[in-house]
């Protein structure tokens, strides 16, 4: 098994962004980065990472061939920004391998 298994252990099931149920004060959500994958001039996927302080969420829109609307995948919730960044990095590398151009925004 690859070392990816250890990172997947940190992945939480899809959920809504963390709530402030305990009355604790958290910093406002902060967008870390957005990556846009395109191939042959067509959008393939957009990945957006948002840091909520106590967790980090990756939101993903995928544009299937022939579809008029994006398909929402996730959100994928991680324990911290490092884990979310590793997830997006692997996704971006796979998209590049498949011939996509990646743009940061």
In a domain, 15, yes or no: no
In a domain, 82, yes or no: yes
Inter-CA distances, 99 with 26, 37, 38, 44, Å: 40, 10, 9, 11
Structural domain count of the chain: 1
Let me know how long the chain is.
Answer: 105
In a domain, 16, yes or no: no
> From the centroid of its chain, how far is CA 81?
11
* Residue range of the domain that includes 52: 4-10+27-104
> From the centroid of its chain, how far is CA 38?
16
Biggest alpha carbon–alpha carbon distance for the chain: 48
pTM given for the model: 0.73
Question: 9 pLDDT band (50/70/90 cuts)?
Answer: very low
- pLDDT at 66 (0 to 100): 85
User: What is the CA angle 11-12-18, rounded to 5?
Assistant: 125
Can you read off the two tokens belonging to residue 100? 């996509």
In a domain, 91, yes or no: yes
In a domain, 22, yes or no: no
In a domain, 21, yes or no: no
In a domain, 83, yes or no: yes
Q: Are 89 and 81 within 8 A, CB to CB? A: no
53-105 pLDDT, tens digit per residue, is 999 999 999 999 888 899 999 899 999 999 999 999 999 999 999 999 999 98
pLDDT at residue 50 is higher than 80: yes
């Amino acid at each position: 098994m690859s070392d990816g298994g250890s990172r997947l252990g940190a992945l939480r099931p899809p959920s809504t962004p963390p709530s402030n149920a305990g009355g604790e004060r958290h910093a406002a959500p902060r967008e870390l980065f957005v990556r846009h994958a395109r191939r042959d001039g067509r959008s393939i996927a957009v990945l957006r990472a948002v840091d909520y302080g106590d967790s980090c969420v990756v939101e993903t829109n995928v544009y299937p061939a022939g579809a008029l609307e994006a398909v929402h995948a996730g959100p994928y919730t991680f324990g911290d920004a490092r884990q979310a960044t590793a997830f997006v990095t692997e996704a971006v590398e796979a998209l590049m391998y498949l011939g996509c151009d990646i743009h940061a925004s």
